[in-house]
Amino acid sequence: MTSILQCIDCAQQYPIHSVIYACQACGGLLDVKHDFDAGGLKITRELFDGRLGAFAAPYNSGVWRYKELVYPGIDASGIVSRMEGNTNLYAMPRVAAFAGVENLFLKHEGENPTGSFKDRGMTTGVTQAKALGMQRVACASTGNTSASMASYAAYAGLQGIVFLQDQQIAMGKLAQGIAYGATCIQIKADFDRNMELVQQVSQRLGIYVLNSINPFRLEGQKSIMFEALQQLRWQAPDWIVAPGGNLGNSSAFGKALLEMLEVGLIDRMPRLAIIQADGANPLYRHFRAGFRNFEPVNARTIATAIKIGNPVNLQKAIRTLEWTNGLVEEVSDEQIMDAKAVVDGAGIGCEPASACSVAGVKKLVANGAIKPGDTVLAVLTGNILKDPEATIGYHADQLAGITPGARNRILQADDDIDQILSLLA
Ligand code: F0G
């Protein structure tokens, strides 16, 4: 076996084909651990650089290009891939000026097949579901995981089941889940409760859970770091900044960076800053309290993707903060939406939760944690089309509690050339 499951707390190991999401001995979260030497292939920058531009599967995927670091033992014929990843890295002076740094790179994960980074974890999660012979897969979701899982399940010929909250789900995401043919259940409960329900129901019915407590999801999400660092010619930035909700990405980033250091793909560890909305900030509070006595919060934010009060990957995120000498910051909904307007207005665009990254950089520069000369990689997690209501609400100045700082008003005119000319004068 080139890979095993291992508890992050007590180090108990389990065979890679175990259908478990927590340690049977102590309840801790599980890692997938690989033996990077097993294949006899040396993992080098050149190995991965040589696969850039590949036409054939699996290396045409921005996840499976790094197969040796993601799931070395899986047979390539069993991989369920939509050629995810391969997303662009933008250097945007206008956004950098807004944030207050000279060198800002935006890694746009909204350019994935279903419009969010979730596809990178879903290709590995659904591949494992197939390897295990599962027929049904399920997740609780604030929207993007469900959109991604619905797509990959349909693509792989599996039945997808999604547990959604009955309010505050962005339209684009809801539409995707329905359109891809998943069984969609809107439940009168918030995300955190749905997370519990999906695990209990799945256990009873033998359904495979594809939330990020499933460690195979995180193996795929590590590739955001692999690909971004490859795009930076393997030169680690000073900072990596990303939003935090269920903390799957944060956890995956820490593991990815540590592994890259271990095999020598990068020479130094960047620092990670995790950004939360101030109404959904359990990790921020826990960080400020020195990680003593974690308390879940009742989450509220316009960035519905990260409206999460009790993140399942908390312990892995804390580990990541230790490994990367990282920190946690919070931003207000208004700061999120103003940052989004700047990213959108630069012609790139992202959904509200993604703009946490840019709003977070701005705040961290203002309070001195990030120096204006530092090189910063900010991850944009989702596509602008995911949440049109938030975008239009902002520009129409119809969002409660938010005064838009960068409004683009829609003008109105009759069928009258003179009126239109005067509007453009
Ligand atoms: N950004 C977007 C666009 C998301 O959809 C999510 C999570 C996050 C950031 C936070 O990432 O959970 O790894 O810390 N969305 C999940 C979902 C929870 O159900 O779609 P995280």
Could you read off the pLDDT of 57-83 as tens digits, one per residue? 999 999 999 999 999 999 999 999 999
Residue 39 has pLDDT above 90, yes or no: no
Do 266 and 367 lie in one domain? The reply is yes
Residues 218-234: pLDDT tens digits?
A: 999 999 999 999 999 99
Task: Spell out which residues line ligand 1, taking CB within 6 angstroms.
Answer: 116, 118, 141-145, 212, 243-250, 305-306, 351, 353-354, 381-382
Q: pLDDT category, 167, cuts 50, 70, 90? A: confident
Residue 331 within a domain: yes
Residues 96-143: pLDDT tens digits?
A: 999 999 999 999 999 999 999 999 999 999 999 999 999 999 999 999
Residue 23 within a domain: yes
Percentage of the chain lying above the pLDDT 90 cut: 97
415 CA to centre of ligand 1 in angstroms: 44
Distance CA 282, CA 244 (A): 10
Using alpha carbons, select from 155, 219, 140, 131 the residue that is nearest to residue 185: 140
38 CA to centre of ligand 1 in angstroms: 33
Give strand ranges (E) for 196-318: 208-209, 239-243, 271-277
By most ligand atoms within 8 Å of CB, the mutation choice from 107, 246, 358 for ligand 1 is 246
Answer yes or no: are the C-beta atoms of 396 and 382 closer than 8 Å: no
Residue 285 has pLDDT above 70, yes or no: yes
What residue owns the CA closest to ligand 1's atom 11? 245
Residue 356 within a domain: yes
The predicted model gives 8-31 an average pLDDT of 98
What residue owns the CA closest to ligand 1's atom 12? 246
Residue 97 within a domain: yes
In this prediction, residue 391 carries a pLDDT of 98
Residue 76 within a domain: no
Query: Domain of 94?
Result: 89-115+217-395
**Bridge partner residues of 116 (DSSP):** 382
Answer yes or no: are the C-beta atoms of 34 and 43 closer than 8 Å: no
Percentage of the chain lying above the pLDDT 70 cut: 100
In this prediction, residue 353 carries a pLDDT of 98
Q: pLDDT category, 363, cuts 50, 70, 90? A: very high
By most ligand atoms within 8 Å of CB, the mutation choice from 106, 116, 318 for ligand 1 is 116
Residue 133 within a domain: no
What residue owns the CA closest to ligand 1's atom 10? 245
Distance CA 196, CA 258 (A): 30
Contact residues for 90 (Cβ-Cβ < 8 A; gap 6+): 105, 106, 108, 348
Residue 421 has pLDDT above 70, yes or no: yes
Do 244 and 350 lie in one domain? The reply is yes
Ligand 1 atom nearest residue 252's Cα: 13
Mean pLDDT, the chain, as a whole number?
Answer: 97
Residue 1 has pLDDT above 90, yes or no: no
Do 18 and 104 lie in one domain? The reply is no
Question: How many domains does the chain divide into?
Answer: 2
Do 309 and 388 lie in one domain? The reply is yes
424 CA to centre of ligand 1 in angstroms: 40
Distance CA 343, CA 346 (A): 5
Residue for token digits 């009126």?
419
379 CA to centre of ligand 1 in angstroms: 12
In this prediction, residue 66 carries a pLDDT of 98
Residue 197 within a domain: no
Residues 379-416: pLDDT tens digits?
A: 999 999 999 999 999 999 999 999 999 999 999 999 99
Do 31 and 105 lie in one domain? The reply is no
According to DSSP, residue 60 is labeled: T
Residue 131 within a domain: no
Ligand 1 atom nearest residue 248's Cα: 13
Indicate which CATH number applies to the domain containing 98. 3.40.50.1100
Do 29 and 111 lie in one domain? The reply is no
Distance CA 213, CA 313 (A): 7
Residues 226-273: pLDDT tens digits?
A: 999 999 999 999 999 999 999 999 999 999 999 999 999 999 999 999
106 CA to centre of ligand 1 in angstroms: 17
